[in-house]
Amino acid sequence: MGGKETDNSALRGFGFAMGAYLLWGVMPLYMKMVSHIPPVEVVAYRILCSVPVAGILILLLGRTADLKLAFRHPRTLLLAAVTAIFISINWGIYVWAIANEQTVETALGYYINPVVNIVLGAVFLGERFNRLQMAAIALVCAALVLLTVTAGGLPWVSLALAFSFGMYGFLRKTLPIGPSQGFFLEVLLLSVPSLLVLYFLDMDGMGHFMAGDARDTGLLLIAGPFTAVPLILYAFGAKLLRFSTLGLMQYLTPSLIFLAAIFVFHEPLSMWQLAAFCLIWIALALYTWSSLRESRIEARPLL
């Protein structure tokens, strides 16, 4: 019985995580449809329309007690505000990059994110690099140097996406509430500045919601589900899957973004960019091998 339950949990976890990564992978298609709308307005609607989605889920799961407890602890609220700032920065840069034909750079950013996580663990937690991790970091640095020299400047979009999401994930782990409650708290805190942004956009006649174009109104309304659903699916998948399995699956999203950039949006890919991607793919292979080896060692029974 126990074995079947474990298999079913793993299968459900795989389904949840696959759904999240696929939705994130096709997100550029949606972002391209709203590329004529100011990124700050798109992000504001991503936040506001996520509030009811996350709120309904918490009610269905019966997790409102955790939220009441969070509101009684200023430290929890402060930490949630910090994680909310990092994820909103990530969303803003992502929306801007897709609208400005820099989808290749967004794929690069999410490819290097796992290596950024290694660096953050070393800087903030004192974790040590093993040899494979050091080699992966060296290859990523070489790729960044190559892109900087050939493009005449740092690939700031890729770095900003990788570090903002890395810091979000790092701090999110210390938030003392569950994933769905934490997400609801984040978007709830961000809803006030989002409302102010939309108010001033409407005052200047720059708002697109209910401005005569039903297509724009519909696209902005589904920004919430497009934002909340994959994050919630990922949270459930992470609970049911081994970390090593989740680590392998995370490359699906930047791979889909990369394919969309080249074959759907027809963005140019220079020889130097391709060389940099090759270096990063090798780095990710080393990182993955290192993670799998460590998970096998941890799984060995103690004699």
Work out the pLDDT band at 295, boundaries 50, 70, 90.
low
Q: How many domains does the chain have?
A: 1
pLDDT at position 115 is: 84
Residue 4 has pLDDT above 80, yes or no: no
pLDDT at position 2 is: 52
Rounded Cα distance, 232 and 20, in Å: 8
114 burial level (CB within 10 Å; 0-12, 13-18, 19+): buried
124-131 mean pLDDT: 80
The model's pTM is 0.87
Q: What is the pLDDT of residues 249-268, one digit of tens each?
A: 888 899 999 999 999 999 99
Write out the residue range of the structural domain in which residue 253 sits. 2-299
Residue 5 has pLDDT above 60, yes or no: no
58-86 mean pLDDT: 89
- Transcribe 17-76 into DSSP letters: HHHHHHHHHHHHHHHHHTTTS-HHHHHHHHHHHHHHHHHHHHHHHT-HHHHHHHHT-HHH
Rounded Cα distance, 225 and 107, in Å: 22
134-142 mean pLDDT: 91
The answer to whether 42 and 217 are in contact (CB under 8 A) is no
Rounded Cα distance, 261 and 257, in Å: 6
H or E stretch including 110?
helix 103-125
193-215 mean pLDDT: 84
Q: What is the pLDDT of residues 143-177, one digit of tens each?
A: 999 999 887 788 999 999 999 988 998 888 888 88
CA dist 40 → 49, 210, 262 (Å): 14, 17, 26
| Stronger pLDDT, 245 or 250, i.e. the higher one | 250
| Stronger pLDDT, 3 or 96, i.e. the higher one | 96
101-109 mean pLDDT: 93
pLDDT at position 51 is: 94
